[in-house]
Structure 1
Amino acid sequence: MKPSRMDNLLGLLRIRVKRGVNLAVRDLNSSDPYVIVKMGKQKLKTRVIYNDVNPEWNEDLTLSVTDPGLNVLLTVYDHDTFTKDDKMGDAEFAIKPYVTAVSMHLQDLPCGTIVTTVQPSRHNCLAEESRVIWCDGKLVQDLILRLKHVECGEVEVQLQWIDLPGSKGP
């Protein structure tokens, strides 16, 4: 019997796409940005924010995690009505440090406790160090991602874990 996808499911990763900062101008004086998040074969998209290079999405996108070794690819596009949407940069980040912290099954820590820290390096797109923090009974990780393949721009996201009944857990 072939194992179902549920057998491999560790849990859900909620990625809150908070905002973009100083994104590239791709239209006359502004851009109409949206974000596509990919992990493995999964692909999710935020709504378009019109005429804004500092958009506030505050939108939750939820991915199923079966392999904590997979990276998340975040790509920003400028929505165009009559032509192909323009790419406004991308950033890739590892979820492994976050999933490893979740797998510790921590409980009852003081709010604000730093569980682990990820430093910016050539191998990630972090603009500054990112901490996995215990807050209000759960682990969260805020990331400020510097976009690559573009002249400027950053995207701020937050990771949160959702346990599923019947999943293996990390």
Structure 2
Amino acid sequence: MSIQHENPETKDVICPQKRIADLMHHAGNKFCADCGTPEPRWVSSSLGVFICIKCSGIHRSLGVHISKVLSLKLDEWTDEQVDALAKLGGNTLLNKKYEACLPSNIRKPKPHSSIEERSEFIRRKYEMQQFVDCDDNLSCPIIPSQGRSISLALAQSSTSYYNSFMDKKPSEKQQSKHRIGNAFRNSWGRKDSEHKAAKKSTSLAGMVEFVGLIKVNVVKGTHLAIRDVMTSDPYVILSLGHQSVKTRVIKSNLNPVWNESLMLSIPENIPPLKVLVYDKDTFSTDDFMGEAEIDIQPLVIAAKAYEKSNINESMQLGKFVASNDNTLVRDGIISLDEGKIKQEISVRLQNIERGELELELECVPLTQ
């Protein structure tokens, strides 16, 4: 499956995006590895499987320690990433591995299958790896009558990745009381009761429908807290419901520039986007460096309104006004720019002595 470069002099002619397109057209990769939906536009770069938008939401809920999801078209790929993906072998080879002992009484999801069916199958396939080794799992201990209880147990286990980071927070750290966008959210007609319902609806990871994707560009941190002798090694965790992704660690820098884009699926009942900053320690627990919560509901509503409109020119759609009542460093603008709904956010980190974080949000429809 690997792509052969013509020679060292022409290697840069074959750009990573062109190589990705070539991989997409391999026979097995033309259909989602988990449900068979044609023309999958997403890939688990860690597992190597090409997947559809619906299955990608389940993969994200597994955590990046199991499945790191990237867009084949929206994300920027490097040659090294494409090399690693090609070496994994593609859908045909990987399904032979992960479905090697798939029992006859277990039905693989179809393109029309529900989120519940996808979630149960995908978790068994990758998280539990129950179908991998026929020699070790000849009986494949999956009892159909226990499907509901197994599904619940697997769904609850998906929070372990996020909790592993949350456990690193200091015991004295207080719950965040600051959420960006409350006033603006209410102006769009969202009630507090809806937010409570959102929390309840996301209690089972992967068991919800998704309304879109949010692309978060973690731009930079400013004047972050010192957690080592004179500096820190900061990284950022983004969490939306039961999905968590994180940036790379930047060594010895209190003003780090990540400029790193991460993608999360947006559940139907939209929870706040949680932002956590930590200092990476090699021989001890990572140190907490601040947090913030961002209400993305107004951004999603603006994106939905744009889809139903005929607007083509760039324009401002809304604004969060910075004040003493919120954590904004400056006004946060929701804008339409070249057909994309974006929002620039700069926040003061909470429950820490100092630090600011700059983010760029983009709402991506499921059709992309």
Q: Confirm or deny a common fold (TM above 0.5).
A: yes
Letter in 1 for 2:253: D
Q: Deviations over 1:101-150 (max 9, x none)?
A: 11112454433x11011123577532221010111221110000110011
Mapping of 1:8-47 within 5 angstroms?
A: 8-47=209-248
Residues 68 and 99 from structure 1, CA distance in 2 versus in 1: closer, same or farther, beyond 3 angstroms?
Answer: farther
Partner residue in 2 for 1:89 = 290
Mapping of 1:121-160 within 5 angstroms?
A: 124-160=326-362
Higher strand share: 1
Between the aligned residues of both structures, percent identity stands at 37
Partner residue in 2 for 1:50 = 251
Residues 74 and 133 from structure 1, CA distance in 2 versus in 1: closer, same or farther, beyond 3 angstroms?
Answer: same
SS of the residue aligned with 2:305?
coil
User: Which structure has more RCO (C-alpha within 8 Å, separation ≥ 6)?
Assistant: 1
Partner residue in 1 for 2:71 = none
TM-score if structure 2 supplies the norm length? Answer: 0.42
Q: Does 1:69 align with 2:273?
A: no
Q: Alpha carbon RMSD of aligned pairs, Å?
A: 2.1
Q: Which runs of 4+ in 1 moved over 4 A?
A: 121-124
Displacement of 1:90: 0.3
Residues 123 and 42 from structure 1, CA distance in 2 versus in 1: closer, same or farther, beyond 3 angstroms?
Answer: farther
Q: What is the distance in 1 between the residues matched to 2:207 and 2:243?
A: 15
Q: What is the distance in 1 between the residues matched to 2:326 and 2:114?
A: 33
Kindly name which structure, 1 or 2, has the bigger radius of gyration based on alpha carbons: 2
TM-score if structure 1 supplies the norm length? Answer: 0.88
Displacement of 1:68: 5.1
Q: Tell me, yes or no, if the aligned pair for 1:107 and 1:137 is still in contact at 8 Å.
A: no
Q: Tell me, yes or no, if the aligned pair for 2:208 and 2:268 is still in contact at 8 Å.
A: no
Letter in 2 for 1:21: T
Q: Tell me, yes or no, if the aligned pair for 1:115 and 1:132 is still in contact at 8 Å.
A: yes
Structure 2: runs of 5 or more not aligned:
1-112, 116-205
